[in-house]
Homo-oligomer: A and B are copies of this chain.
Amino acid sequence: MQIEILRLSHRIRRDPRLSTHLALTARAFLASKIYYSGDKDSSLEATINKVTSQFGGNFKIEHIEDPVKLINEKKDEEFLIIHLSVYGLTLNSILKKIKVQKDILVIVGGEKVPPEIFKESDYNVSVTQQPISEVSALAVFLHVILRGEELNAKFSNAKIQIIPSAKGKEFKK
């Protein structure tokens, strides 16, 4: 299963930290790539690429202009398109439908998500039916899809590796 993320409508003045947390979450929860629309943000890209270079793996970040065009390209590649929205169907209700598929594009908003995104997605999915955060929605969605596989995943080519510790801060370099 290949997992890619699309973050809609990044705003360079308002969202840099949330988009950073979102991209780091995508990487740690075994997505291979995050696309983002809205403002191109070289500083965001540099932050994420630095983490990947230090902590390993092959996670990519790419700015795109047109989310609907990307969605259509991913449909042609037979990705299942999942849009996380508080208004969507419950996570439990769509789980069986997701398991049969191979690759997934997970879309997260963005302040105002245009109606095309709801329409073009195979499933609009809500994590809890309560206002939460795109960061927590993405994390729990991927945790459930991966059945917790991410909790003990190892990343290739890591220059820094954190060693689980009861009270201290241990890592290998």
**A residues contacting the other copy or chain, number (CB 8 A):** 57
A90 CB within 8 Å of chain B: yes
Q: Is B151 in contact with A127, judged by CB distance below 8 angstroms?
A: yes
- The distance from the CB of A166 to the nearest CB of chain B, in whole angstroms, is 6
Residue of B nearest to A123 (CB): B166
User: Of the 9-residue stretches A17-25, A38-46, A68-76, which lies at the interface with chain B?
Assistant: A17-25
Q: A135-B135, A139-B132 are in contact. Are A167 and B124 (CB under 8 A)?
A: yes
- The distance from the CB of A147 to the nearest CB of chain B, in whole angstroms, is 12
Residues in A lying within 8 Å of B, measured CB to CB: 14-15, 17-18, 21-22, 24-25, 27-29, 51, 55, 86-93, 118-119, 123-124, 126-133, 135-140, 143-144, 148, 150-153, 155, 161-162, 164-171
Jot down 30 A-B pairs with beta carbons below 8 A, ordered by A.
A14-B17, A15-B17, A21-B133, A21-B135, A21-B136, A22-B133, A24-B132, A24-B133, A25-B136, A27-B130, A28-B128, A28-B136, A51-B131, A87-B165, A87-B169, A87-B171, A89-B165, A89-B166, A90-B152, A92-B148, A92-B152, A93-B164, A118-B169, A124-B165, A129-B162, A130-B153, A133-B135, A133-B139, A135-B139, A143-B144
